[in-house]
Amino acid sequence: MTNDMLMGLFPVVFMLHEFEEIIMLKPWLAKNGPAMERRFPTVAAKVLPLYNSLSTSAFTLAVLEEFLILTALTYAAIAFGLHDLWAGLLAAFLFHLLVHIGQTILWRGYCPFIITSLLALPYCLYALFTLARSGAISPGPTATWSIAATVLVYLNLWLALGLARRFEAWTGRAFAPVADDGSPPA
């Protein structure tokens, strides 16, 4: 498999991981929210209001925004030979997976991201190793891009979730039931 082919798989691996979150997050939070409040009250106070206020559609919109950016950057990196930039993006995703693994260890049970985190981990390590072994990436530039990408990814997460909240507000207004006279119901 060529480096470009290996790089081109990244959006697919990303989406497989995100599908687990999209499908499982809401049911998991509904079942485990009270336990999270008891065991991790500080985290629950921040996480539960945010994610409970979003529909699956709104959360999926946030994932779509991330996917479009990741895909555009991946294919730009392939087209222009920006392997260190791509490796930085992959390292940020790898960090994301490691955080999920840590969350699952702390939770001591299934979390709606662990299965695909464990499946994606070997791909990330193999891709970084393969690109490094081929000389396509260098430690210094890759480390710099990794730090920059991690910061930008987490800043973009807040942007994407803000987009999701605006979408949620819009769909609540746009699709709210109306009375026969066209006014909102009382």
Q: Is the pTM of this model over 0.85?
A: yes
Nearest Cα residue to 86 out of 158, 155, 9, 159: 9
Q: Mean pLDDT, the chain, as a whole number?
A: 93
Q: What is the mean pLDDT of residues 117-137?
A: 97
What is the predicted pLDDT for the residue at 180?
64
Which residue intervals of 40-113 are DSSP H helices?
A: 41-52, 56-80, 83-107
Q: What is the mean pLDDT of residues 7-12?
A: 98
Q: What is the mean pLDDT of residues 160-175?
A: 89
pLDDT bucket at 175, cuts 50 / 70 / 90: confident
Rounded to 10 degrees, what is the CA torsion of 99, 104, 107, 111?
110
pLDDT over threshold 90, residue 176 = no
DSSP string covering 138-166: -HHHHHHHHHHHHHHHHHHHHHHHHHHHH
What is the predicted pLDDT for the residue at 161?
94
Residues 39-69 pLDDT 10s? 999 999 999 998 999 999 999 999 999 999 9
CA dist 18 and 27 (Å) reads 15
Q: Quote the percentage of the chain above a pLDDT of 70.
A: 95
Rounded to 10 degrees, what is the CA torsion of 114, 118, 121, 126?
-160
Three-state SS at 1: coil
CA dist 90 and 86 (Å) reads 6
pLDDT over threshold 70, residue 179 = no
Which residue would you say has higher pLDDT here, 171 or 133? Answer: 133
pLDDT over threshold 60, residue 184 = no
Q: Give the count of beta carbons closer than 10 Å to the beta carbon of residue 174.
A: 8
CB 25 within 8 Å of CB 51:
yes
pLDDT bucket at 186, cuts 50 / 70 / 90: low
Q: Give the count of beta carbons closer than 10 Å to the beta carbon of residue 30.
A: 10
Q: What is the mean pLDDT of residues 18-33?
A: 96
CB 100 within 8 Å of CB 117:
yes
Nearest Cα residue to 123 out of 153, 164, 93: 93
